[in-house]
Every structure is written in structure tokens, then in C-alpha cells.
Amino acid sequence: MLNENQIIPELFDEFYFITEQEFQMPVKRNEIPEQINDEFKFTGTNKRKTLFVHNDINQLSETEKIMLENLVVKAIGWKMDEFILLNLNDNSLKNFQEIKTHFQVEKIIFWGCESFLEQYHIPQKPYEVMRGKELTVLQVEPFNTYISNPDKKKDLWQAIRQLLDLK
């Protein structure tokens, strides 16, 4: 049986030691088509009843997309289209209740989004899973934090394991 210290480096090796120079070659990966309906602009489906919310003005960088794909596909074991990725910046007129009602998710991970959480009086306790009757919420750092500070990936992984009930 592997212990946690053996699993974490194995899951994250690919993006712990990548240098910018390696990203100059085009990266082949599955692009998830963006969906736009009358209410929201997002990617993915609600198969896992999980919503990843971020607030990036310039969208996710290629490095951030690769980090997210490594986390979702290699560490969690999902496909990239099995969860919803929502950028608050693209949906600025939406409030928390509209998001919750529209997507009907059971779990939300807020990647940063401090001002949004403050606005709707959602407690901000980074890396602490907050379980409610109908919804479980986790706030973590913005995506770019894990690229610039790889030591925080262990905290991220622990929190996501707890949120998703992964062993």
C-alpha cells in the first residue's frame, strides 16, 4: 500500500519540474468546447456535479490549463469534460444563487475569488472543506499560485481529496 508521500510526487511530477522553455512547443491535449447559453458561458458538463470557479481577466494561461488537466485527469481520474469550469469574469452579472441554481452542483471549488465570496458572505477558509446540507464548498488559491509556488500543491491535493472523498 502506498502512503501519501509516495503518491503526491508521482501524481504531480509532470508539473513540479516543468520549465517555461518546455512550453514553447505546441501542447496537444483535448480542448473542451466552450458552451454559451442565454445565461452562462462555461466549459464542461455536470456529470460529476462539480463546479470549478475562477476569476481570471485574461482566461487561463496554457501553463495553468496543463496544470488543471494534470490534476483532473491524472490525479483525480476524471475526464476534462466531466466538470464545469466557470470564469466569473465571463459571467460578471451572475450572483452566487443564480450560479448554484442554474448548475445544480453538489460541490464547488473556488480558485481564488475572494471578493466574490466576500460579496455573498461565504466564509473564506482556504483549504478547508465546508459541508452544507445541499452544497460542499472549497476555496483554494488561484491557479497561478500553484505554478509559482509548487509547495502549495500538497495543500491543494489534500483539500481536493477531502472534498471529493478520494482515498
**Per-residue confidence (pLDDT) for residue 8, from 0 to 100:** 54
Q: Could you give phi then psi for residue 56, rounded to 5 degrees?
A: -110, 120
CB 16 within 8 A of CB 9: yes
The fold of 35-163 is Uracil-DNA Glycosylase, subunit E (3.40.470)
- Region 11-35: mean pLDDT is 49
Separation of alpha carbons 1 and 64, rounded Å: 31
CB 110 within 8 A of CB 117: yes
Mean of all residue pLDDT scores within the chain: 84
Residues 154-167: tens digit of each pLDDT: 999 999 999 999 98
Residues 71-119: tens digit of each pLDDT: 999 999 999 999 999 999 998 778 999 999 999 999 999 999 999 999 9
Residues 116-152: tens digit of each pLDDT: 999 989 888 999 999 999 999 999 999 999 999 999 9
**Per-residue confidence (pLDDT) for residue 123, from 0 to 100:** 86
Residues 35-61: tens digit of each pLDDT: 666 689 999 999 999 999 999 988 899
Q: Which of 95, 156, 107 shows the shortest CA–CA distance to 132?
A: 107
**Per-residue confidence (pLDDT) for residue 58, from 0 to 100:** 84
Residue 166 exposed, middle or buried by CB count within 10 Å (0-12, 13-18, 19+): exposed
CB 106 within 8 A of CB 54: no
**Per-residue confidence (pLDDT) for residue 27, from 0 to 100:** 40
**Per-residue confidence (pLDDT) for residue 122, from 0 to 100:** 87
Q: Could you give phi then psi for residue 105, rounded to 5 degrees?
A: -90, 165
